[in-house]
Amino acid sequence: MKQFFIYALVGLFLTACGGDPGDGGKGDKKDIKKKVAKKVDGKKIYRQYCVTCHGVNGDMGASGAFDLTTSKLTLDEKIAVITNGRNTMTPFKGLLSDAKIKAVAEFSETLKK
């Protein structure tokens, strides 16, 4: 009887710690990329790279920076400007990932008045 309980406990332990055998514990790469993309903080990146010229509220205009509070650009156009630069604005394609650039563009939408 004592052996039965030991085997039952070992079986319960293995079942509880077993996980999903379907993916071998590795997870789906697409799910991992989605989780990473969700963690990109556009506001934080904006404050790190953009505040110097655009200001905290997007309307500072230092060094000829465009007033983001009055921007009529679409999200895709903003992504292109951030990626490639414009006039005196530095291109960020070599500095920021596509996900970070998109996050900054999305955050800049919140600055509109």
Per-residue model confidence as pLDDT tens digits over 15-34: 666 655 555 555 566 666 56
- How far apart are the C-alpha atoms of 51 and 67, rounded to whole Å? 12
Residue range(s) defining the domain that contains residue 55: 33-113
Q: How many domains does the chain have?
A: 1
In a domain, 38, yes or no: yes
Instruction: Report pLDDT for 39.
Output: 84
Q: What is the pTM of this model?
A: 0.66
Strands (E) across the chain are located at: none
In a domain, 110, yes or no: yes
In a domain, 12, yes or no: no
In a domain, 3, yes or no: no
Instruction: Report pLDDT for 58.
Output: 95
Which stretches in the chain have pLDDT values below 50? none
Query: In sequence order, what are the beta bridge partners of 89?
Result: 86
Instruction: Report pLDDT for 113.
Output: 83
What is the domain-level CATH number for residue 86?
1.10.760.10
Instruction: Report pLDDT for 44.
Output: 97
In a domain, 2, yes or no: no
What's the sign of the alpha-carbon dihedral 63, 68, 71, 75? positive
